[in-house]
A and B are shown apart, each in its own frame.
Chain A
Amino acid sequence: DARVTQTPRHKVTEMGQEVTMRCQPILGHNTVFWYRQTMMQGLELLAYFRNRAPLDDSGMPKDRFSAEMPDATLATLKIQPSEPRDSAVYFCASGLVRSGGWDKNTEAFFGQGTRLTVV
């Protein structure tokens, strides 16, 4: 059963600490998205990658957030230093995009999310 796996599921940390969230996309998917969900803002796209290359991270506060894909099976989202306003659920999603567009047989699948609380 192919699924997007995120770790940790829950994280409570103190303000100022570094937080790293990890995502394992579905095997064979070449596109990975990071979304943040809050009550006030809804689902916001932070960054996304295709074939491990960052395509757009304009939704991400650059001074404290960074996103990487060290290899095809791992995407990371780091916050350093963390702040209380970063408290949210962070979702990773993956999909397969070919040169002509989305593969008709796939769609964007979401992981279970990481619930981050910064106190």
Chain B
Amino acid sequence: ELKVEQNPLFLSMQEGKNYTIYCNYSTTSDRLYWYRQDPGKSLESLFVLLSNGAVKQEGRLMASLDTKARLSTLHITAAVHDLSATYFCAVDMSANSGGSNYKLTFGKGTLLTVNP
């Protein structure tokens, strides 16, 4: 069974600081998503990482994927209050199912609070 672990689960940081959220997964995967969720809202896709070494950046967020280590990171640079939200990573376990099952298993999420 695929397990997806995020840490930390709670992150309180000050504006202007940098931090990294980690996403570890237990078995081989070939596709990893990062989503953002604001309170009471839906999940918004931030990044889709498709291969080992993939790095994507959007504004103050940068995501990377190391498939050998089964690790993805979401790095926050110079945080601002607007980044306060819950961030989820999700892993596609299709590589483990002979390519027949393309579905997403989610981590528990990281609740990020950016304080002024």
Q: Is the CB of B101 within 8 A of A45?
A: no
Category for how many chain B residues contact A: 20 to 34
Q: Could you tell me the distance in whole angstroms from the C-beta of A9 to the nearest C-beta in chain B?
A: 11
Known: A55-B101, A113-B42. A42 touches B106 (CB 8 A): yes
Asked if A65 lies at the interface with its beta carbon under 8 angstroms from chain B, I say no
Bound Cα distance from A111 to B45, whole angstroms = 12
- Chain A residues lying within 8 Å of B88, measured Cβ to Cβ, are 43
- Chain A residues lying within 8 Å of B42, measured Cβ to Cβ, are 91, 110-113
B81-105: contact bitstring with A at CB < 8 Å (1 yes, 0 no)?
0000000101010100001011111
- Chain B residues lying within 8 Å of A113, measured Cβ to Cβ, are 42
Provide the main secondary structure of the chain A interface: strand
Q: Is the CB of B103 within 8 A of A104?
A: no
Asked if B43 lies at the interface with its beta carbon under 8 angstroms from chain A, I say yes
Residue A104 contacts which of B50, B92, B105 (CB distance < 8 angstroms)? Answer: B50
Q: Is the CB of A107 within 8 A of B92?
A: no
Bound Cα distance from A56 to B92, whole angstroms = 14
- Chain A residues lying within 8 Å of B35, measured Cβ to Cβ, are 110
In the complex, the chain B residue whose C-beta lies closest to that of A97 is B102
Q: Is the CB of A91 within 8 A of B109?
A: no
Most buried by A among B33, B90, B102, B109: B102
Residue A48 contacts which of B48, B103, B107, B109 (CB distance < 8 angstroms)? Answer: B103
Q: Is the CB of A45 within 8 A of B105?
A: yes
- Chain B residues lying within 8 Å of A31, measured Cβ to Cβ, are 102
B35-52: contact bitstring with A at CB < 8 Å (1 yes, 0 no)?
100000111110010100
Task: Please list the residues of chain A having a beta carbon within 8 angstroms of any beta carbon in chain B.
Answer: 31, 33, 35, 42-43, 45, 48, 50, 55-56, 91, 93, 95, 97, 100-102, 104, 107-113
Task: Please list the residues of chain B having a beta carbon within 8 angstroms of any beta carbon in chain A.
Answer: 30-31, 33, 35, 41-45, 48, 50, 88, 90, 92, 94, 99, 101-109
